[in-house]
């Protein structure tokens, strides 16, 4: 069977595909696995109780359940939810927006497929433009969404040592150049995989540079404020007509309902809505229905601030403390956990590649993600790319504790064999 060039790309190795395949096989397999690899949020009982209550309300209201599952929304998404979000963002942040500035998509992955292909690729006059990532490592799901492939240009970070075992990435603005070959700039805040949070000053500088260059700044806010607010630093949320903010209900607790949110200028929202119409007719309705009253009342902000953030911050501190104890004496550092669901582990000078470490850990029943997948648009000759792994602390504490102990033991064995 002969595929198109587009189809042939999916015969090869695709990071996000292999990650999801591994997760599925581990869940379906006979051997229990410690799932420290995926991005699934925790099942927080208090949050799930809110969704159960809302579903009961939908079922109790005559015709509401039938309308929710039986009628298409517009390609822009559920109008009532969009209006509630616009009001929430005006109240919380003072953003000058209305419903014309918001579109829903079938999850953030869908949002970035639309946005990256909207601004990268072939332009008029056969010009080819790329998406600039001013800080890598970045989200694994970005890497393969470009219709033309190779749509990224990435900048290596500045690595700042905070103490003996903790470091932080910062944007190295000396190498951030937005030339005529750049169609948009994209950063996530907090960052998956590292938990990094760009400082307000870094975001402001990117806003100034993108405005001067006449290209949009895309902010991936899937873990950020006001929901789910898995962010442990005090930062200022930003939006303006040159900025595109992408949000999601996944990490608020609804990953299976695929509800992405794009906040942008009306022209971009119109195009995104038409893309949705072509690709899937309309966004899934159930996520918006379950979150509608939470957004209208502002309760979604309180729940994120008082329940979700403290829940994950406690887990991050617990996992970090264990890692520091387990890795004592090893060439090891962890990125400062400032948000999201992950710890980013760096084994400087690791005698084997992170891909091999991943296979060894999988053989011992621990699933992580090797770090080389998180450097789209970068060159493969930087050793740092092959010295890192991502682990999640969103699983039950007992699972995380056992998994981290095995990781430390295996890394220690790697160094002992070298000696």
State pLDDT tens for residues 228-242: 999 999 999 999 999
Say if 61 falls within a structural domain. Answer: no
Based on the fold, state whether residues 376 and 233 are members of the same structural domain. Answer: no
Q: Name the pLDDT band for 15 (thresholds 50, 70, 90).
A: low
pLDDT of residue 24: 64
Is the confidence at residue 179, as pLDDT, over 90?
yes
**Helical spans, DSSP H, in 186-326:** 200-213, 266-280, 286-297, 299-303, 309-326
Q: Looking at residue 23, what is its pLDDT?
A: 64
- CA dist., res. 83 & res. 60, Å (int): 24
| Phi/psi of residue 321, nearest 5 degrees | -60, -40
pLDDT score, position 232: 96
In the prediction, which pLDDT does 149 show?
Answer: 76
* Domain contains 68: no
CATH number of the domain encompassing residue 339: 3.90.1150.10
Domain interval for residue 24: 5-46+303-413
Lowest mean pLDDT among 62-71, 93-102, 139-148, 389-398: 139-148
pLDDT on residue 25: 64
* pLDDT tens per residue, range 67-97: 999 999 999 999 999 999 999 999 999 999 9
127 with 235, same domain: the answer is: yes
> Taking 90 as the threshold, does the pLDDT of residue 377 lie above it?
no
Token pair listed for 128: 């080819």
User: Beta strand 152-154 with 158-161: parallel, antiparallel or unpaired?
Assistant: unpaired
Residue 129 resides in a domain:
yes
Dihedral Cα 175, 176, 177, 183, nearest 10 deg? 140
* pLDDT for the residue numbered 111: 96
**pLDDT tens digits, one per residue of 38-71:** 889 999 999 999 999 999 999 999 999 999 999 9
Count other Cβ atoms within 10 Å, centred on residue 124.
5
Q: Domain check: are 205 and 167 in the same one?
A: yes
Are 307 and 388 in the same domain? yes
The answer to the question of residue 62 being in a domain is no
Res 29 pLDDT > 70: no
Render 323-377 in DSSP notation, one character per residue: HHHHTTTSS-EEE---BSSEEEEE-TT-SS-HHHHHHHHHHTTEE-EEGGGG-TT
Listed in sequence order, the DSSP H helices in 128-199 are none
Average pLDDT over residues 303-331: 96
Q: Give the number of domains in the chain.
A: 2
- Please indicate, yes or no, whether residues 111 and 123 belong to a single structural domain of this protein: yes
Residues 137/375, Cβ–Cβ less than 8 Å: yes
Determine the Cα angle at 269 with ends 267 and 270, to 5°.
65
The answer as to whether 249 is a domain residue is yes
Residue range 99-122, pLDDT digits in tens: 999 999 999 999 999 999 999 988
Is residue 65, in this structure, part of any structural domain at all? no
Domain final position from 265, 300, 335: 300
For the residues 318-345, what does the mean pLDDT come to?
95
Distance CA 323, CA 319 (A): 6
Claim to verify: residue 115 and residue 230 sit in the same structural domain = yes
């Amino acid at each position: 069977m002969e595929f198109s060039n587009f189809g042939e790309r999916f015969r090869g190795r695709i990071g996000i595909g292999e990650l999801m395949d591994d997760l599925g096989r581990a869940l379906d397999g006979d051997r229990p696995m410690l799932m420290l690899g995926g991005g699934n949020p925790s099942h927080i009982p208090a949050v799930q109780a809110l969704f159960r209550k809302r579903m009961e309300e939908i079922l109790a209201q005559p015709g509401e359940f039938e309308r929710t599952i039986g009628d298409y929304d517009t390609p822009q998404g559920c109008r009532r939810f969009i209006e509630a979000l616009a009001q929430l963002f005006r109240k919380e942040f003072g953003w000058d927006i209305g419903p014309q500035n918001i579109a829903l998509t079938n999850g953030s992955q869908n949002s970035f497929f639309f946005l990256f292909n909207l601004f990268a690729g072939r332009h008029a006059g056969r010009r080819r433009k790329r998406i600039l990532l001013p800080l890598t490592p970045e989200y694994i799901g970005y890497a393969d969404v470009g219709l033309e492939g190779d749509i990224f240009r990435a900048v290596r970070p500045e690595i700042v040592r905070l103490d003996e075992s903790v470091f932080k990435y910062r944007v190295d603005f000396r190498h951030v150049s937005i030339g005529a070959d750049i169609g948009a700039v994209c950063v996530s805040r907090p960052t998956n995989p590292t938990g990094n949070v760009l400082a307000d000053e870094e975001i402001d500088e990117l806003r100034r540079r993108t405005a001067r260059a006449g290209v949009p700044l895309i902010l991936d806010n899937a873990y950020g404020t006001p929901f789910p607010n898995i962010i442990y630093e005090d930062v200022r949320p930003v939006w303006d007509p040159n900025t595109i903010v992408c949000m999601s209900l996944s990490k608020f607790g609804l990953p299976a309902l695929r509800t992405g949110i794009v906040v942008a200028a009306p022209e971009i929202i119109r195009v995104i809505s038409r893309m949705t119409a072509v690709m899937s007719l309309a966004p899934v309705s159930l996520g918006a229905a379950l979150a509608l009253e939470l957004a209208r009342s502002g309760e979604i902000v309180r729940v994120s601030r008082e329940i979700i953030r403290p829940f994950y911050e406690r887990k991050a501190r617990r996992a970090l403390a264990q890692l520091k104890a387990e890795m004592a004496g090893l060439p090891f550092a962890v990125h400062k956990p400032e948000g999201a669901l992950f710890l980013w582990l760096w084994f400087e000078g690791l005698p084997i590649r992170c891909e091999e470490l991943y296979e060894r850990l999988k053989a011992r029943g621990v699933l992580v993600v090797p770090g080389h997948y998180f450097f789209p648009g970068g060159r493969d000759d930087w050793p740092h790319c092959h010295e890192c792994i991502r682990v999640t602390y969103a699983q039950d504490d007992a699972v995380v504790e056992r998994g981290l102990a095995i990781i430390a033991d295996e890394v220690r064995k790697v160094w002992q064999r070298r000696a």
